[in-house]
Structure 1
Amino acid sequence: MTVGITESVAAQLAEFNAVPRVQDLYEGDGAAFYDRVVGSDRSEVREVLALARRAGGAVLDLAAGSGRLAIPLVRCGTRVTAVDLSADMLSRLEGEIAGNPLLDCVVADMRSFALERRYELIIIGATSITLLDAKDRIAMYASVREHLAEGGIFALTIAGTSSGAHLRVTEDQRFTVDGPDGAEEYLYSQQIVDDGTARVVNWARAADFVRNGTVTVLTSRLRVLDADILRAELVQAGFTDPRVYPVRASAGSDIVLLETSLRGEHRSA
């Protein structure tokens, strides 16, 4: 497999003698496309707002992206620090609620960020933890411990049983995606790699597949995880055994939220 391109997309490129233009799903054109696909998704929003009300303080939103969770939090009067490795994503967030004093955007890696305060709630939504491998997750847990206030809540989401099953198979689908010039058809391709522990995802506009053309292929690499894996990791990393419960999600999606906090011996570490 060409790095970042699934075998299925590579075969279609070869059929049209087309050249791929590989683009990270969260940078540049990819950031704009990702926002088109998930920006209106309200999954997790109700549950995160409830957590923020219960936590009663500032929120740290890791892998905040274009603000699917941060924006409703800020609009409800919550102070939010939005951290993302993609400046393009955070630029879209800042443009949506420009100048709001409750929002701070920080370009940083969720594995190794260093901020000047602790937070009553730290969240990782949209199953973004699957961007990290096991070593990276350990580093991220350590950073969360350093920034979680005493009695604070750490919450993250992952695909549930039914949705998780779809993330463990190689498949191709076609989706209609709304855009500034109307609806467009996109090829979605997923290939399972590394003995089933990861998946490579591609998005490419169907109309771009023309003979001798150039096709923009948006790509991402994600780990295949479930709630049981993350529960064990959180306990090992010094958190309480998390409460796991379903969240409201779009039709056909199955998402669960893991809610935890620091164990007593780690609160003053």
Structure 2
Amino acid sequence: MTSSTDLATGTGRLPGQAGTLLAELGERAELHDLYDEYGSPVYHDITASDTHEVRELVRLVRSSSGPVLELASGAGRLTMPLLALGRAVTALELAPGMLGALDERLASAPARLRARCTVVRADMSRFALGQRFGAIVLGTTSVSLLDAPGRAGLFAAVREHLAPGGRFLISTVDDALTDSGADPGSDEQVYALSGVSGRAYRMHEYWPRGALARTVSIFPADLDRVPDGPVRIFTSSVAVVLADLLIDEMAAAGLSLVARHPLPTGGARHRDVLLEMEAAV
């Protein structure tokens, strides 16, 4: 079985070792997009306890004032720490599966946090909320989900929604750190992941050197022990959108760079950076 992933890859197949594993599973394999109704719970399971970017983003948002807009909020990995600052937060997300996971997380949160959160289903590349925000946040390098026209729409909408003196905080791959000591001949990295549920996963990241996209595929950690029946594999094609390119694109949209904050995480082949932007005068 294949899903909307076919539209992203054009083949319903996976590159590298992940493709070999998929082929070995044969008809048992169900290939799903990482953000569909089946993939969203797995994504949430893996990222719920991930503190990547959280400290840096919270520190910068704390120094701003007024309501906060979080774009591509997903299941709320950043939403909950932002709400804990005592600010009103609008969480914008498009994928129904992610919205469902966020609703569940909010339902179990203290009432005072729920009261400060507004959830909006919308496309981050074109949104109109009729409100301005002291801080707009786009974390988890989610800008990589958009193509160039989509990013142009995003930046125009951000410029329109920033309050005077407001900040746009966006994470992406830092082009200055793409060589991080990994084996230059290796196109594929494999990582062991553990979810908050206790389930174990194996993530394959296929990224040929110089390619403008990387393919992320998530399998159960031990395929030999998976019971008989369908095996769901989750994948996403992630664009590599370098920081310098984003800075130039945002400048064209009327956003100027305030600071570039290195992040201590990323992958074996890259490091991430948090860009702090403001509306150009």
- How does the TM-score come out when normalised to structure 1? 0.85
Q: 1:248, CA displacement in angstroms?
A: 5.3
Paired residue secondary structure (2:238): strand
Residues 164 and 87 from structure 1, CA distance in 2 versus in 1: closer, same or farther, beyond 3 angstroms?
farther
- Distance (whole Å) between structure 1 residues aligned to residue 54 and residue 227 of structure 2: 43
Q: Is the 8 A contact 1:172 1:187 kept in 2?
A: no
Q: 1:16, CA displacement in angstroms?
A: 4.0
Aligned length: 261
Q: State yes or no: 1:117 paired with 2:131.
A: yes
AA of the residue aligned to 1:53: R
AA of the residue aligned to 1:191: Y
1:12-31 paired onto structure 2 within 5 Å: 12-31=21-40
Q: Is the 8 A contact 1:5 1:217 kept in 2?
A: no
- Distance (whole Å) between structure 1 residues aligned to residue 147 and residue 208 of structure 2: 13
Residue of structure 2 equivalent to 1:260 = 277
Q: Is the 8 A contact 2:134 2:163 kept in 1?
A: yes
AA of the residue aligned to 1:132: L
- Distance (whole Å) between structure 1 residues aligned to residue 27 and residue 191 of structure 2: 19
Paired residue secondary structure (2:151): helix
Residue of structure 2 equivalent to 1:175 = 192
Residues 50 and 20 from structure 1, CA distance in 2 versus in 1: closer, same or farther, beyond 3 angstroms?
same
Higher relative contact order (CA 8 A, sep 6+): 1
Q: 1:142, CA displacement in angstroms?
A: 1.1
1:65-214 paired onto structure 2 within 5 Å: 65-98=74-107, 100-160=114-174, 161-162=176-177, 170-178=187-195, 180=197, 182-184=198-200, 186-192=201-207, 196-208=211-223, 214=230
Q: Is the 8 A contact 1:193 1:200 kept in 2?
A: no
Residues 194 and 143 from structure 1, CA distance in 2 versus in 1: closer, same or farther, beyond 3 angstroms?
farther
Q: Is the 8 A contact 1:42 1:249 kept in 2?
A: no
Q: Is the 8 A contact 2:187 2:209 kept in 1?
A: no
Residue of structure 1 equivalent to 2:238 = 222
Identity %: 34
- Distance (whole Å) between structure 2 residues aligned to residue 110 and residue 143 of structure 1: 8
Residue of structure 2 equivalent to 1:241 = 257
Q: 1:116, CA displacement in angstroms?
A: 2.3
Does 96-105 or 157-166 show the bigger shift? 157-166
Q: 1:212, CA displacement in angstroms?
A: 8.7
- Distance (whole Å) between structure 1 residues aligned to residue 13 and residue 160 of structure 2: 34
Does 237-246 or 186-195 show the bigger shift? 186-195
Residue of structure 2 equivalent to 1:5 = 14
- Distance (whole Å) between structure 2 residues aligned to residue 200 and residue 250 of structure 1: 15
- Distance (whole Å) between structure 1 residues aligned to residue 89 and residue 206 of structure 2: 35
Residues 12 and 44 from structure 1, CA distance in 2 versus in 1: closer, same or farther, beyond 3 angstroms?
closer
- Distance (whole Å) between structure 2 residues aligned to residue 194 and residue 112 of structure 1: 32
- Distance (whole Å) between structure 1 residues aligned to residue 267 and residue 24 of structure 2: 35
Residues 179 and 120 from structure 1, CA distance in 2 versus in 1: closer, same or farther, beyond 3 angstroms?
closer
1:45-56 paired onto structure 2 within 5 Å: 45-56=54-65
Residues 52 and 212 from structure 1, CA distance in 2 versus in 1: closer, same or farther, beyond 3 angstroms?
closer
Paired residue secondary structure (2:140): coil
Paired residue secondary structure (2:279): coil
Root-mean-square deviation (CA, aligned residues, Å) is 2.9
Unpaired segments ≥5 residues, structure 1: 265-269
Unpaired segments ≥5 residues, structure 2: 1-8
AA of the residue aligned to 2:99: L
Residue of structure 1 equivalent to 2:4 = none
Paired residue secondary structure (2:63): helix
Residue of structure 1 equivalent to 2:5 = none
Does 4-13 or 99-108 show the bigger shift? 4-13
CA shift digits 1:156-207 (9 cap, x unpaired) = 01233446757x9630414142353x442x3322334797111221111144
Q: 1:19, CA displacement in angstroms?
A: 4.0
